[in-house]
Structure 1
Amino acid sequence: MSWWLGVVMDTDITWLRNPFELFYKDADFQTSCDDFNGNSTDLNNRPNSGFSYVRSNERSIWFYKFWFSSSKIYGRMHDQNAFNKIKMQPNISTMNVKIRFLDTKYFGGFCHPSKDFNKVRTMHVNCCKGLQNKVNDLKILLDDWRNYMAFP
């Protein structure tokens, strides 16, 4: 069996710096958050599955199968909503799936933007409705980034 590590992300994610050095070495599945409470292992974080880092192994494969089959059980709900429903189910801990949540300080989004351009790695144009609004917000983000990078 081959093993891989991979980033899974929505198209409205902008990479400002390399995020790989901040991923947890011990996790099977890591995801960005709309709200991060300061504890990367706390299942009470409000995740946003638009940016995830996954270690391919038996646990993560089982987790993805369970997650997506659960979204069908819950009336074909959005995968992020299904994740919120299943993240605390006992069979996830029984399978020893190690889930970690990424700090919004480094993995920001428009719901909870990173306040420090010195630390931010990725930005997600979430909490923004409509394609044109997302495009406009991405342009603003990139303009801000260019202005920041222009400072000595």
Structure 2
Amino acid sequence: MAADITTSSDFYFGDPDDLGNFPNTGFIYFKSTPRKARAMAYWHAARRRFPENHDQFVFNEIKRELAGELGVRMRFIDAATVSRFCQLGRDLNRIATVHMTCCIGLENKLFDLKRVVEDWKRYMAHPLWERRMGEIGWTFEGGRCIH
């Protein structure tokens, strides 16, 4: 069965179906169906229960309710392909994108994002056979947000 909602996560624990993963709703996908529309309405309405918190916190709080009460199936994207600042993927051969999670402030995000681009350019400058060996990685010593 396909997932109703697919999202990246701030912390991914190895199982794409594990509701224990912490979602990052800045990168979320769902195809519109009546059940998914109900899920989005439920999420929006749940914000009243957590008035001091942002939508991602609310989603994390209600993800089990969505799965149980509405039967919504969630999948979390493997950290190996959607790398995040708070859980940096190590295999540059598998990473499709880098999401600037766990980073506060535009200046800090731009500082570390520039380093991501520099490292990617360095990685791509190596011959394909060297890249496939998986030994070329990030150089994030001294980053502002990178964990």
> How does the TM-score come out when normalised to structure 1?
0.78
Paired residues of 2:79 and 2:87 also in contact (CA < 8 A) = yes
Partner of 1:15: none
Partner of 2:14: 38
Partner of 2:31: 55
Partner of 2:51: 75
Q: Between Structure 1 and Structure 2, how many residues are aligned?
A: 127
Partner of 1:94: 69
Partner of 2:141: none
Partner of 2:84: 109
SS at match of 1:127: coil
How far apart are the structure 1 equivalents of 2:97 and 2:23? 15
SS at match of 2:30: strand
Q: 1:144 aligns with which of 119, 124, 134?
A: 119
Q: Displacement, 1:95?
A: 2.1
Paired residues of 1:63 and 1:92 also in contact (CA < 8 A) = no
Paired residues of 2:67 and 2:74 also in contact (CA < 8 A) = no
**Which protein is richer in strand relative to its size?**
1
Paired residues of 2:5 and 2:75 also in contact (CA < 8 A) = yes
How far apart are the structure 1 equivalents of 2:47 and 2:107? 28
How far apart are the structure 2 equivalents of 1:127 and 1:46? 12
Query: Relative contact order (C-alpha < 8 Å, sep 6+): which is higher?
Result: 1
Code of the aligned partner of 1:63: A
Code of the aligned partner of 2:56: Q
How far apart are the structure 2 equivalents of 1:35 and 1:92? 19
Paired residues of 1:27 and 1:55 also in contact (CA < 8 A) = no
Q: Identical aligned pairs, as a percentage?
A: 39
> What is the aligned-residue RMSD (CA, Å)?
1.4
Structure 2 stretches of 5 or more lacking a match?
128-147
Q: State the structure with more CA Rg.
A: 2
SS at match of 2:64: coil
How far apart are the structure 2 equivalents of 1:47 and 1:54? 14
